[in-house]
Amino acid sequence: MRAAVLNTIPGQLEIEDISIDKPAPNEVLIRVAASGLCHTDLHFMDGHLKTELPVVLGHETSGVVEQVGADVSYVQPGDHVVACLSIYCGNCAQCLSGRPSICENPDASERAGPSPPRLHRSGQPVGQFMRLGGFAEQILVHQNAIAKISPDMPLDRAALLGCGVTTGLGAAFNTASVSPGATVAVFGCGAIGLNVVQGARISGAEQIICVDNNQAKLDTALRFGATDLVDANTTDPVEAIMELTGGRGVTHSFEAVGSSLTARQAFMCLAKGGTATIIGLMGAEEQVELPGLHFLAERKIQGCDMGSNRFRIDMPRYAKMYLDGRLNLDDMMSETIGLHDVNKGFSAMRAGKTIRSIITFE
Ligand code: CXF
Ligand code: ZN
């Protein structure tokens, strides 16, 4: 099968023919319909983060089940599914207390011991990015890496649920529990930030202030529910948010950029008792410095991993919300491309020109 492989870091992706195994008892073989390009893929291509090579990149993927292992009862061939990197073991304390997105034992989904690799190239093992490797015609994954969705859901839109949508909506719904009347600030209006915005809108927030330094992204945020826009090129975001909230600050802020500067700003714009949720991926060396006195008024700051998802519950629900006209996925789709154009898609992302490029497979 054809797949986009990262062979060097930093590096571009190379389209190669690689071999894929048959499902082990707990695995599922999926014919990929669509895969979205996410900033996390780009971080690894650019060498900000390291992974073993060679590896098939991609982790925002939808498809149709082709074959299931002997122990799989959750899906059958023909089912439509979305893959998720929040693969859970189902047995650890986090999984058993309803927090599978921070599973303590995700390695349980790996093939053990002397088994052959899931993917290989002339006998040389090829890795699957985030245990998925979605930039490929097929994926072979553990059954705990997929959620079943309605066959009515268009599979190109469904791919978006695999990472960006689940992270952004989940940050608002699950991590921060935004409630009616909330006042919200969102730093960064890429795929994650836009979904925080629509999650806040659906939750009944009365004010949703969006901050970005890209005017096109700010304009897009209006279509997702933003009530106020702050251009960080020309205005100090914290001062602007204070002014827009009558000097109080917001009840909930979200950082979806991945920098210590915006993380600090997200904390500094909080009202008394407010909560900052940090979603963006920061470099390993980044430190976030905060004024200690601000904790006195019960301001909080918390992390967020993949929207604190329970993806087998969340993803079919989000698909239904799209089908019911309550979720905007159409305006996230910047372009649909073939696998051979994957590097062009990442160049457009780097230039800030796209929200999501989606690879579709015929
Ligand atoms: C990422 C966030 C950083 C760790 C790996 C997964 N999520 C989505 O792209
Ligand atoms: Zn991602």
| Structural domain includes residue 50 | yes
Average pLDDT over residues 198-202: 98
pLDDT tens for 125-170 read 999 999 999 999 999 999 999 999 999 999 999 999 999 999 999 9
pLDDT of residue 113: 81
Same domain? For 122 and 251 the reply is no
pLDDT tens for 312-343 read 999 999 999 999 999 999 999 999 999 999 99
For residue 109 and ligand 1, the question of a CB distance below 6 A is answered with: no
Closest Cα to atom 5, ligand 1: which residue? 40
Inform me whether the pLDDT recorded for 284 exceeds 90: no
Q: Which atom of ligand 1 is nearest to the CA of 85?
A: 6
Given 288, 303, 318, the domain boundary residue is 303
SS (H, E, C) the chain: CEEEEECCCCCCEEEEECEECCCCCCEEEEEEEEEECCHHHHHHHCCCCCCCCCEECCCCEEEEEEEECCCCCCCCCCCEEEECCCCCCCCCHHHHCCCHHHCCCHHHHCCCCCCCCCEEECCEECEEHHHCCCCECEEEEEHHHEEEECCCCCHHHHHHHCCHHHHHHHHHHHHCCCCCCCEEEEECCCHHHHHHHHHHHHCCCCEEEEEECCHHHHHHHHCCCCCEEEECCCCCHHHHHHHHCCCCCEEEEEECCCCHHHHHHHHHCEEEEEEEEECCCCCCCCCCCCCHHHHHHCCEEEECCHHHCCHHHHHHHHHHHHHCCCCCCHHHEEEEECHHHHHHHHHHHHCCCCCEEEEECC
The rounded mean pLDDT for the chain is: 97
Share of the chain above pLDDT 70, in %: 100
pLDDT of residue 362: 75
pLDDT of residue 49: 87
Same domain? For 142 and 129 the reply is yes
C-alpha distance from residue 361 to each of 33, 60, 161, 247, 322 (Å): 5, 14, 17, 51, 22
Burial 68-104 (b: 16+ CB within 10 A, else e): bbeebeebeeebbbbbbbbbbbeebeebeeebbbebe
User: 104 CA distance to ligand 1 centroid (A)?
Assistant: 16
Same domain? For 29 and 145 the reply is yes
Same domain? For 76 and 128 the reply is yes
Same domain? For 32 and 156 the reply is yes
Same domain? For 140 and 200 the reply is no
Domain count, the chain: 2
Which CATH number characterizes residue 245's domain?
3.40.50.720
Same domain? For 268 and 348 the reply is no
Same domain? For 159 and 299 the reply is no
Which CATH number characterizes residue 77's domain?
3.90.180.10
Same domain? For 14 and 156 the reply is yes
Tell me which of 114 and 324 has the higher pLDDT. 324
> pTM of the full predicted structure?
0.97
pLDDT tens for 235-271 read 999 999 999 999 999 999 999 999 999 999 999 999 9
Same domain? For 289 and 315 the reply is no
| Structural domain includes residue 172 | no
Average pLDDT over residues 184-192: 98
| Structural domain includes residue 262 | yes
| Structural domain includes residue 171 | no
Distance of CA 192 to the CA centre of its chain: 7
Same domain? For 39 and 55 the reply is yes
| Structural domain includes residue 125 | yes
| Structural domain includes residue 169 | no
| Structural domain includes residue 170 | no
pLDDT of residue 112: 84
For a pocket test of ligand 1, which of 39, 130, 308 has the largest count of ligand atoms closer than 8 A to its C-beta?
Answer: 130
For a pocket test of ligand 1, which of 42, 306, 308 has the largest count of ligand atoms closer than 8 A to its C-beta?
Answer: 306
| Structural domain includes residue 193 | yes
User: 79 CA distance to ligand 2 centroid (A)?
Assistant: 23
pLDDT of residue 45: 96
Task: Point out which residues pair with 141 in neighbouring strands.
Answer: 28
User: 167 CA distance to ligand 2 centroid (A)?
Assistant: 8
R_g over Cα of the chain: 20
Task: Point out which residues pair with 5 in neighbouring strands.
Answer: 14, 56
Inform me whether the pLDDT recorded for 222 exceeds 80: yes
Range of the domain at 204: 177-303
Same domain? For 231 and 316 the reply is no
Q: Are 197 and 223 in contact (CB under 8 A)?
A: no
pLDDT of residue 255: 98
User: 167 CA distance to ligand 1 centroid (A)?
Assistant: 9
Average pLDDT over residues 13-17: 98
